Chain A
Amino acid sequence: GENVEQHPSTLSVQEGDSAVIKCTYSDSASNYFPWYKQELGKRPQLIIDIRSNVGEKKDQRIAVTLNKTAKHFSLHITETQPEDSAVYFCAASIAFDTGGFKTIFGAGTRLFVKA
């Protein structure tokens, strides 16, 4: 089955600096890679996603890159702000031809942005 590894488990940056979180996946059939942000005591919420036919996607200060050959994908946050402090989860998802999909999450990265 699919296995998703996420690094680092904890990341501390100074406000204004960039943060990078990296993930690897094992199943080459995975074709959708969402990233979720979870604030303390809240539910995970989607912040950006990328499909396997795209190498890079950007939305304001966040960007995601995908290397299908190496089975790597990464989240980049630029100009970090204190409100970016949260746990970030990467995930790899497989869609089935008959409909439905299965998503496996990484273990999460706890990001601290120091003011």
Chain B
Amino acid sequence: DARVTQTPRHKVTEMGQEVTMRCQPILGHNTVFWYRQTMMQGLELLAYFRNRAPLDDSGMPKDRFSAEMPDATLATLKIQPSEPRDSAVYFCASGLARLAIHNEQFFGPGTRLTVL
């Protein structure tokens, strides 16, 4: 049963520290999404990639957030420097996109980030 994996599952850090979250998409999936979930904002799209190329990161604060896919099996989301308002659950999701055809997104378990 293939699943998206994320590490770490929980992270507590102090304001100003760098945070790196990692995601392993399901093997064969070519689209990866990063979402942030807070009580107030629901599921907020931060960035997404297709075939490792960033398609849209307009939802991401550019000054402190960065997202990359160094290879097809790893996506990273980095916050530097972190701030208390970044505290949230960060979900990664992957899917298989074909021309003009949607497919289901599979979510990872999330990384719960707390910035003190």
Name A residues whose Cβ lies closer than 8 Å to a Cβ of B. 1, 31-32, 34, 36, 42-46, 49, 51, 89, 93, 95-108
- Do B42 and A97 touch (CB < 8 A)? no
Q: Is B104 an interface residue (CB 8 A)?
A: yes
Q: How far is the CA of A101 from the CA of B29 in the complex (A)?
A: 13
Q: How far is the CA of A42 from the CA of B110 in the complex (A)?
A: 8
A selection of 28 A-B contacts at a CB cut-off of 8 Å is A1-B58, A31-B102, A32-B102, A34-B104, A34-B105, A43-B91, A43-B110, A46-B104, A51-B102, A93-B102, A95-B100, A95-B101, A95-B102, A96-B100, A97-B100, A99-B50, A99-B97, A99-B100, A100-B50, A100-B55, A100-B97, A101-B102, A102-B45, A103-B105, A104-B45, A105-B43, A107-B41, A108-B42
Knowing A43-B110, A51-B102, A93-B102, say if A101 contacts B97 (CB, 8 Å): yes
CB neighbours (8 Å) of A1 from chain B are 58
Q: How far is the CA of A106 from the CA of B35 in the complex (A)?
A: 13
Q: Is B34 an interface residue (CB 8 A)?
A: no
CB neighbours (8 Å) of B55 from chain A are 100, 102
CB neighbours (8 Å) of B45 from chain A are 102-105
- Do A89 and B42 touch (CB < 8 A)? yes
Number of interface residues of B (CB under 8 A): 29
Which chain B residues in 26-40 approach chain A with CB under 8 Å? 30-31, 33, 35
Q: Is B25 an interface residue (CB 8 A)?
A: no
CB neighbours (8 Å) of B99 from chain A are 97-99
CB neighbours (8 Å) of B101 from chain A are 95
CB neighbours (8 Å) of B98 from chain A are 99
CB neighbours (8 Å) of B31 from chain A are 100-101
CB-CB contacts of B76-99 with A at 8 A, as 1s and 0s? 000000000000000100010111
Q: How far is the CA of A67 from the CA of B30 in the complex (A)?
A: 31
Q: How far is the CA of A114 from the CA of B26 in the complex (A)?
A: 37
Contacts beyond the supplied A43-B109, A104-B45: 14 A-B pairs with Cβ under 8 Å: A43-B107, A46-B105, A49-B102, A100-B48, A100-B50, A100-B55, A101-B97, A101-B102, A102-B45, A103-B33, A103-B105, A105-B42, A106-B42, A108-B43
